[in-house]
């Protein structure tokens, strides 16, 4: 069970989701507009936020960006359109998952549980193990098959960020935001160059990847070689 904040302006959808999530054991708080939702998300510290994109006062994407300036609370975005560009944009803006309307409380509940499980995984200071790769953020050491890697600080941060989210595709925009701390600027090329250096230090190539897998047009994923 989680403390859920539902930001949704449509009263029928809001009522149905509140009822369905409550029946599934969640405690649900709700807001009918973007700014009220932002206030509740920051002020009430919910476990997770379900954010509609089409809101009467400010667009949900703007709410998400503002929220990300203040909080790492998991966010599931609800979008009315199955628009790939929009979905990529909200994931890049820091959403943890998305659902395309219409959806029911059962599906939303499953996504909420999946996102919260994911969040339980790696604490920021915990050593991350992916196959033969160990990344220790406290000691800032990365070891591959028992051999310590000689990484620059940026390469280390990049590898740690990707390894902490193993098996997930991470967008280049997110890497620029999270690793380079460049919110809206920066070029994908910067990421590509560092990825190629990292790849060389891991002893692999883009053509024959072991840990570092590029997903064309989307981003990059770290996975164990046999996964
Ligand atoms: Ca709406």
Domain C-terminal end among 118, 149, 169: 118
Q: How confident is the model at residue 119 (pLDDT cuts 50, 70, 90)?
A: low
Residue 84 Cα, ligand 1 centroid: separation in angstroms? Answer: 18
Residue 55 Cα, ligand 1 centroid: separation in angstroms? Answer: 5
185 and 138 co-located in one domain = yes
168 and 206 co-located in one domain = yes
Residue 76 Cα, ligand 1 centroid: separation in angstroms? Answer: 14
More confident position, 3 or 126: 3
Q: How confident is the model at residue 227 (pLDDT cuts 50, 70, 90)?
A: low
Residue 105 Cα, ligand 1 centroid: separation in angstroms? Answer: 16
Structural domain that includes position 188: 128-222
Residue 10 Cα, ligand 1 centroid: separation in angstroms? Answer: 6
Q: Which long-range contacts (CB under 8 A, 24 or more apart) does 185-192 make?
A: 191/158, 191/220
Residue 214 Cα, ligand 1 centroid: separation in angstroms? Answer: 35
Q: State how many domains the chain has.
A: 2
85 and 137 co-located in one domain = no
Would you tell me the crossing angle of helices 153-164 and 188-201 to the nearest 10 degrees?
90
pLDDT in tens, 56-68: 999 999 999 999 8
Q: Is a pLDDT exceeding 70 seen at residue 120? A: no
CB atoms within 10 A of CB 103: 14
Q: Can you give the pTM of this predicted structure?
A: 0.57
Residue 123, in any domain of the structure: no
Residue 24, in any domain of the structure: yes
pLDDT at residue number 171: 84
132 and 178 co-located in one domain = yes
Q: Which residues contact 21 (CB under 8 A, 6 or more apart)?
A: 4, 6, 28, 105, 108, 109, 112
Polymer length of the chain: 227
> Whose CA is closest to 98, among 111, 109, 113?
111
């Amino acid at each position: 069970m989680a403390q859920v904040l539902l930001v949704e302006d449509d009263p029928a959808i809001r009522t149905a989701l509140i009822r369905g999530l409550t029946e599934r054991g969640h405690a649900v708080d709700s807001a009918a507009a973007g700014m009220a939702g932002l206030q509740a998300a920051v002020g009430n510290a919910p476990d997770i936020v379900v954010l509609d994109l089409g809101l009467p006062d400010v667009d949900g994407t703007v709410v998400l960006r503002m929220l990300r300036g203040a909080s790492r609370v998991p966010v599931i975005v609800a979008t009315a359109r199955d628009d790939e560009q929009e979905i990529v944009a909200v994931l890049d803006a820091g959403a943890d998952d998305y659902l395309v309307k219409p959806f029911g409380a059962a599906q939303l509940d499953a996504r909420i549980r999946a996102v919260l499980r994911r969040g339980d995984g790696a604490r920021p200071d915990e050593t991350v193990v992916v196959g033969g790769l160990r990344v220790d953020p406290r000691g800032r050491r990365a070891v591959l098959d028992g051999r310590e890697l000689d990484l620059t600080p940026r390469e280390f941060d990049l590898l740690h960020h990707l390894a902490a989210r193993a098996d997930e595709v991470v967008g280049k925009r997110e890497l620029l935001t999270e690793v380079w701390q460049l919110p809206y600027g920066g070029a994908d090329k910067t990421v590509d160059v560092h990825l190629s250096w990292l790849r060389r230090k891991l002893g692999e190539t883009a053509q024959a990847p072991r840990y570092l897998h590029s997903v064309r047009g989307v981003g990059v994923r770290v996975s164990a070689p046999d996964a």
